[in-house]
Amino acid sequence: MAGEWKFWFLQFVTGAILVALVLTHLSLFIGNGYHIDNSYNEIQAHLSSPAWAAFYIIFLTIVLYHSHNGLRNILSEWTGGHHDKLVTAIVIVLGVVFWIIGMHTILYFLVR
C-alpha cells in the first residue's frame, strides 16, 4: 500500500514513547516498595489522582495502538495482503473494545 510508511512510522514513534511510559509505570511500583498485601489500596489511591489517570489513559491508548497496528501488520503479511480491509476492520473493532474496557477500569478508580 502507498500509505504504509505512516503506519510504520507511528509504530516506531509509539514504541519509543512506550519505553518511557513503561519505565515510569515500573519505577512507580518497584521504586516505591510495592507490596502485594496492600496492592488494591495503593492502586486505588494512585488512580484516584487525575494526573495519573491521564497518564494511564495515554498509556492505554498508545499500548493499544502499538499492539494492534503490529497485529494488523502481521496478519496482513500472513494473508498476503489479500484481506487488508477485513483485517484492519477486525483489528480496529478489537482495539476499540479493549480501549473501552481499559477506560472503564481507569475511570472507575478516578470517580470512586
Cα distance between residue 86 and residue 84, in whole Å: 6
If pLDDT is split at 50, 70 and 90, which confidence band does 41 have?
Answer: confident
Domain range for residue 53?
4-111
pLDDT tens-digit readout, 8-28: 899 999 999 999 999 998 887
Chain-wide mean pLDDT for the chain? 87
The pTM of the whole model exceeds 0.75: yes
Q: What is the CATH number of the domain that holds 44?
A: 1.20.1300
Q: Above 60 in pLDDT, residue 51? A: yes
Q: How many domains does the chain fold into?
A: 1
DSSP per-residue letters across 27-78? HHHHTTT--GGGHHHHHHHHHTSHHHHHHHHHHHHHHHHHHHHHHHHHHHHH
